[in-house]
Amino acid sequence: MASVTTNGQDRDPVSLFEIHRRQMIRDRMIVNVTLGVVFLGFLLWSLWISRFTPDRLATGLPRIFEYFGSVMPSLQWDVLFDGRNEAGRFPAGSIGYWYNDFWKYLRLIWETILMALTATILAIGLAVALSFIAARNCTPFPWAGVLARRFLEFCRGVPEILFALVLVFAVGIGPLAGVLAITIHATGALGKLFSEVNENASMRPVDGIKAVGGSWFEQMRYGILTQVLPNFTSYALWRFEINVRASAVVGFVGAGGIGAELSHTISFYSDDRVTAVLLLVVLTVTIIDLVSERARHSLIGKESLR
């Protein structure tokens, strides 16, 4: 093939390409080196600020292994499934001994799940209502939309445990503070997701209901809600999973559920009771995740949720 003519100059394609390539590499190099320097600088700063130094790590790591060693249960095969002995106690090394407080844990886990469920239901109600006001294409008054979006941002921005801290002070120690804290945070998170779904909904049915003489509520109920309901359900289930995790830790500040027991056990004992509670919490969370994930996937294609 003949050489390419550009601007009247004869340049063969290879040398032209080489010029472009060198230019590109040079540009990229500058950007990459700058980014690398910034990254390294930030890393060094972070290490210094968080006092994450090798000597601290060196003294810390053995203690971690030591700690984990001490909280592991010492199970013995020959007595593993033994029941209570004459004195009414489980023999050391049996599962019964490890899970001496099993029923107490179970009651607390039950409370934890109920807290999450109640908070999720309340949050769904609030989030659905607010999402229609917050969505730009649905809002009845633009100023109300701005207000609702700011409110949701605030609810979402503050972690539930902080809300719980404040609410425990306001309404006293107990699960109510936890339920309210999780409700507020979940309302923010769900409200934002819901309003984004609303914003992606087709406005044609809304126009149709509007032309029929439907009120704003009817436009939302028939025009939008029917379109977004599967997504709402899927997000709500997903939020329930997260709320179960959250309600397991709000007890750290006294807001009910297994968290108080968890925090108490970890803070005051370093024996197998720690792993006993932790294992139960992990199991609960995992089982709920699995069930809810299955429900979500059967409800809506796998791809619609990241």
Binding to another protein (CB under 8 A) within 185-244 occurs at: 204-205, 207-215, 217-218, 221-223, 226-227, 229
Query: In whole angstroms, how close is the CB of 156 to another protein at the nearest point?
Result: 10
3-class DSSP state for residue 4?
strand
Query: Which of 123, 135, 138, 180 forms a contact with another protein (CB under 8 A)?
Result: 180
Cα(201)–Cα(217) distance, integer angstroms: 16
Stretch 72-111 residues interacting with another protein (CB under 8 A): none
The answer for 76, left when phi > 0, alpha when psi is -120 to 50, beta otherwise, is beta
Which amino acid, 28?
Answer: R
Cα(149)–Cα(153) distance, integer angstroms: 6
Query: In whole angstroms, how close is the CB of 21 to another protein at the nearest point?
Result: 18
3-class DSSP state for residue 5?
strand
3-class DSSP state for residue 134?
helix
Stretch 44-63 residues interacting with another protein (CB under 8 A): 45-52, 56-57, 60, 63
Residue in the block written with tokens 């445990």? 161
Query: Which of 91, 93, 96, 174 forms a contact with another protein (CB under 8 A)?
Result: 174
Cα(112)–Cα(106) distance, integer angstroms: 10
Taking the least distance from each CB to another protein, the nearer of 96 and 214 is 214
Orientation angle between helical segments 102-134 and 142-157, nearest 10 degrees: 160
Query: In whole angstroms, how close is the CB of 253 to another protein at the nearest point?
Result: 7
Query: In whole angstroms, how close is the CB of 94 to another protein at the nearest point?
Result: 23
Q: Is residue 175 near another protein by the rule CB under 8 A?
A: yes
Residue in the block written with tokens 């109600």? 125
Taking the least distance from each CB to another protein, the nearer of 7 and 59 is 59
Taking the least distance from each CB to another protein, the nearer of 55 and 86 is 55
Query: In whole angstroms, how close is the CB of 77 to another protein at the nearest point?
Result: 21
